[in-house]
A = this chain, B = another copy of it.
């Protein structure tokens, strides 16, 4: 029984599902059991496009996946507006839940999802893959080092990509009834997550969305920025956009050290990721150069970050199924905090860039 893999069903034939299929195949403790889409044709096409094994069941509805008693867990990459409904249905059917980000349209919805998971004893985790890269704990080690990094003072995070005209016209991520949070939910989510990570998940007290966001004609955010403030004087800024070249920078600065990442969400190379640190940086005697300069740290990984995510989620599911453990609440706590900041930034934008308190 201990070697029985967690059996996954996927709700929807989203493009991101292709990557997760591969991750499920790579994870040692997971297997793909079913794919469900709004029609059997779409599900079949997804299966053949992705070379799925003939053993993977093809369903023409999401219901059929969550109703299948031979499925332990569902991965839900549906548009955000459908998360509440399908996450809650899945939890009630006792399916463990790996939910794509943004987890919900707002924290009230997320709280319903989290309550459904808790009430039904199922594991929740969102699909923020970067949390599972072995680079991440190495970075934590640096940020926690009182001597080498000191006290966190500032974080800046940028995630932009240049969507093509087809995306800008038709993608679900610019449709108000599907992914109403637009770039804030799609890429801003990661900026906020990286800032919260740097702040060791201490929530900011207030946010101020920067003026002049770019919205489409339906009012969906194509590009925006925000600043975040903590009572102890820490500050952060982020910028997220569908309108600029693919860029993923996070810089965290402490009293004694600096962290730089240029590919914080998806590493340049799947097999090894790196990050840069500097500590107690000074100029040389005449200020004609630096000593020391920043150091590059390379972190190899056998498994991709998404396979590690599936693996960690499956490990927790197996602990519950096989040992009767309680679900690990850390993951829903982190999701909720990320959503709380998203909500505050959205509220600040909606109020014409007024300072908004972050909910608790």
Residues of A bordering B, CB below 8 Å: 16, 18-19, 22, 150, 153-154, 156, 158, 160-162, 206, 208, 210-212, 214, 223, 225, 227, 229, 233, 235, 237, 239, 241, 243-247, 249, 251, 253-258, 260, 262-263, 266-270, 276, 278-283, 286-290, 293-294, 304, 306, 353, 355
Contact = CB atoms under 8 A, between A and B. Distances in A.
Contact of A210 (B208, B253, B289): B208
Given A212-B229, A214-B233, A154 B162 contact: no
Interface centre among A237, A247, A256, A260 (most CB of B within 10 A): A247
A19 B286 contact: yes
A287 B246 CA distance: 12
A266 B251 contact: no
Contact of A268 (B223, B237, B268, B289): B289
Number of copies of this protein chain within its complex: 2
A248 B60 CA distance: 54
Of the candidates A18, A153, A263, the one having the most CB atoms from chain B within 10 angstroms of its own CB is A153
A246 B211 contact: no
Contact of A154 (B154, B208, B244, B355): B244
Contacts of A245: 150, 253-258, 278-281
Given A211-B229, A247-B281, A253 B289 contact: no
Nearest to A263: B290
Contacts of A306: 288
Contacts of A269: 289-290, 293
B154 A241 contact: yes
A82 to B, nearest CB: 22
- If over half of A's interface residues share one DSSP class (helix, strand or loop), that class is named, otherwise mixed; here it is strand
Nearest to A150: B245
A226 to B, nearest CB: 10
Nearest to A276: B262
A235 B227 contact: no
Contacts of A208: 210-211, 353
A306 B158 CA distance: 32
A118 to B, nearest CB: 32
Which 4 A-B residue pairings sit nearest by Cβ, starting from the closest? Answer: A246-B281, A153-B244, A244-B253, A268-B293
Given A211-B227, A246-B258, A263-B290, 11 more contacts: A154-B244, A156-B156, A156-B158, A162-B256, A162-B280, A208-B210, A211-B355, A225-B235, A225-B237, A245-B255, A268-B290
A292 to B, nearest CB: 9
Nearest to A153: B244
A235 B247 contact: no
15 contacts: A19-B286, A150-B245, A154-B158, A154-B244, A156-B156, A210-B227, A225-B235, A244-B258, A245-B258, A246-B282, A247-B281, A262-B294, A266-B290, A268-B289, A268-B290
Given A290-B246, A290-B268, A237 B237 contact: yes
Contact of A247 (B210, B251, B293): B251
Given A22-B286, A263-B290, A288-B266, A235 B210 contact: yes
Contacts of A288: 19, 266, 270, 304, 306
